[in-house]
Structure 1
Amino acid sequence: MTQIKDIYKIAVLLFFLSFFSCKNAETVEDLDGNIYHTTKIGKQTWMVENLKVTRFNNGDSIKKITTNKDWKKAEQAGYSFYNNDVAFVKEYGLLYNYNCLKDIRRIAPKGWRIPTEEDLKELESFINSNSIGIFLKEKGNTHWLPSNTVGNNVTGFNALPGGYRDEEGAFYMLRSNGYYWTVNGSFELYNWSDRMFQAFADVRRDSIFKRYCFSVKCIKEE
């Protein structure tokens, strides 16, 4: 009986989400000409694709950092792409360090911003499920490693496992985990879990994370 109730609860939730969340007709273009689709989840509007812009909003270039030696000593805003292989950019976007987020020139397109912890709480509250990760992950296993927690992407959020770059310049977790910046930290989705986490990187707790590189998914300013 408990299992039947759980199945019913999930079915109701899927209907609710499909009704109140939808792929928006709106698209956004960055300074490099990249086009991003959008999805509305509750009162929030999110970019579907990961950010891949290489310039700040004033037109200044963001520094591309490739070698581990340069990465370890980098104190300025910089970006990278997984394994320094440009082939990954089209689907996974770029990986940005924390200084990109804090730079007053801004990397989010006009009218958009980096999400806050409060934004994530609102997202979690709207979906209202311990299995929130399933509703946020890309549908199926095109990019994600096989697991028992395959995404259905009913929200249109389309989270991808773009991995990350650490303070030494090493790359990790492509196709396994997706790491996204928030204003002061990160949120993560793992291939083996149906949840969303926020415990990996907190720059207020440890400044070493300022030299980590994560994906960016922007949220629309209200």
Structure 2
Amino acid sequence: MRKIRIALKAVYVIPFILLSACSEKENVAPTVNLVTPVDGEIIMQGGVIPVKAMADDEDGSITELVIYVEGAEVASAEASTLIYDWNTADLEVGEYVLSALARDDEDKSDAVNIRVTLDTPGGFNPDLSYGTLSDIDGNSYGTIEIGTQVWMAENLKVTNYPDGSPITQISGETEWNAMTPDIQAYCWYNNLTEYSDTSGALYTWAAAMNGALSSDTIPSGVQGVCPDGWHIPSDAEWKVLEMFLGMSQVDADNYDWRGSDEGGQLKEAGFSNWAKPNTGGSNSSGFTAVPGGFRSAKGVFYSIDLYAAFWTSGEEAGTDKAWYRTLYFDREQVYRQYNDMRLGLSVRCIEN
């Protein structure tokens, strides 16, 4: 009988053990999020940015919350909320990885990564002094002295010639495609006036010149669409600018991409207007070139954030093509070439 009682007790003990084991819930890992900044955000370099991490654990407690910048631990606490003041003053512009990790009392963890971009404020170079200029329409522009020259530091957006007569606006693709090289016309990129403040207008070469003949002298002597006291720069005047910034005479006289970093010195810094990587874009010259894109001879718009192109006053002899300069988002040189006069390009004027 003794053996039987022991066996019966065992029958009841085993189910109890199994029931107890099944009732134990597996620990759930905590969750963590980076609340600020948000993934993909562009942040102006130079300030102090609050990096906020928040964690939660439904069946336990948070024993560690850590924030990392580029893989390096910068802050930690035994808390569910942690804020780190990230000082970006001495950091280079570019992409950064921010991370957060949370751990609970059962040593379960969760982590999250985001990418943010540090940018420099767009616009003029804050270390340089700028003048001002107004056109016939009342638009105001910054101006900058570079070497012996004074240039507009913004793209022209005037819609009337200096005598007050209107420049023809052509919006339709079919109408633009049907133009001959002598047609004087302008447009806004994608026919949207919202681009006017930053990118300016796009002009055919004939419009930029206001019907004047080609010139490659210094100064060009062609007022064109420019305000009184200013003119369309010649190819030779562009070379003066480029060589002041360090380009050799041999390179200046060459075609296509030339020089070293002169284009970067001309481009507006950061990514407010230029697409990444805006290679070399320092705006050390103060020229503040922004990408206005262009309109093809067929009337199609291209490359608003990639491409800045400016007419000169010179044509290629015996052709319907004129000389221009281009700056590009992933190049730091300056492109020199001639192309169809029916293109819609940006205009920068130079002081007489």
What's the TM-score once normalised by structure 2's chain length? 0.53
Superposition map of 1:1-222 within 5 A: 22-24=128-130, 26-75=131-180, 76-102=183-209, 103-104=211-212, 106-129=224-247, 130-147=260-277, 149-184=279-314, 185-199=323-337, 201-202=338-339, 209-221=340-352
Deviation by residue 1:174-208 (Cα, 9 ceiling, x = unmatched): 10111111112110001110101112x34xxxxxx
8 Å Cα contact 1:140/1:150 also seen in 2: no
Deviation by residue 1:49-101 (Cα, 9 ceiling, x = unmatched): 10000001111100000001111122420001111111111100000001113
What secondary structure sits across from 2:341 in the alignment?
Answer: helix
Counterpart-to-counterpart distance in 1, 2:148 and 2:129: 13
Counterpart-to-counterpart distance in 2, 1:159 and 1:36: 13
What is the aligned residue count?
A: 194
Deviation at 1:141, TM superposition (A): 1.1
8 Å Cα contact 2:143/2:153 also seen in 1: yes
8 Å Cα contact 1:22/1:41 also seen in 2: no
Matched to 2:195, the amino acid is F
More helix by proportion, 1 or 2? 1
Counterpart-to-counterpart distance in 2, 1:56 and 1:74: 20
Structure 1 67/108 Cα, relative in aligned 2: closer, same or farther at 3 Å? same
For structure 2, list consecutive stretches of 5 or more residues without a partner in the other structure.
Answer: 1-124, 213-222, 248-259, 315-322
Please identify runs of 4+ aligned residues in structure 1 that moved more than 4 A.
none
What's the TM-score once normalised by structure 1's chain length? 0.83
What secondary structure sits across from 2:335 in the alignment?
Answer: coil
Deviation by residue 1:152-172 (Cα, 9 ceiling, x = unmatched): 111110001111001110001
Q: Relative contact order, CA 8 A, sep 6+: which one is greater?
A: 1
What secondary structure sits across from 1:87 in the alignment?
Answer: helix
Deviation at 1:219, TM superposition (A): 0.7
Counterpart-to-counterpart distance in 1, 2:336 and 2:244: 17
Counterpart-to-counterpart distance in 1, 2:262 and 2:241: 9
Counterpart-to-counterpart distance in 1, 2:272 and 2:208: 29
Counterpart-to-counterpart distance in 2, 1:148 and 1:217: 20
8 Å Cα contact 1:141/1:150 also seen in 2: no
**Greater C-alpha radius of gyration:** 2
Deviation at 1:148, TM superposition (A): 6.1
What secondary structure sits across from 2:129 in the alignment?
Answer: strand
1:11 maps to which residue?
none
Counterpart-to-counterpart distance in 1, 2:284 and 2:239: 19
8 Å Cα contact 1:66/1:84 also seen in 2: yes
8 Å Cα contact 1:78/1:97 also seen in 2: yes
Matched to 1:210, the amino acid is M
More strand by proportion, 1 or 2? 2
Counterpart-to-counterpart distance in 2, 1:72 and 1:134: 33
Matched to 1:128, the amino acid is G
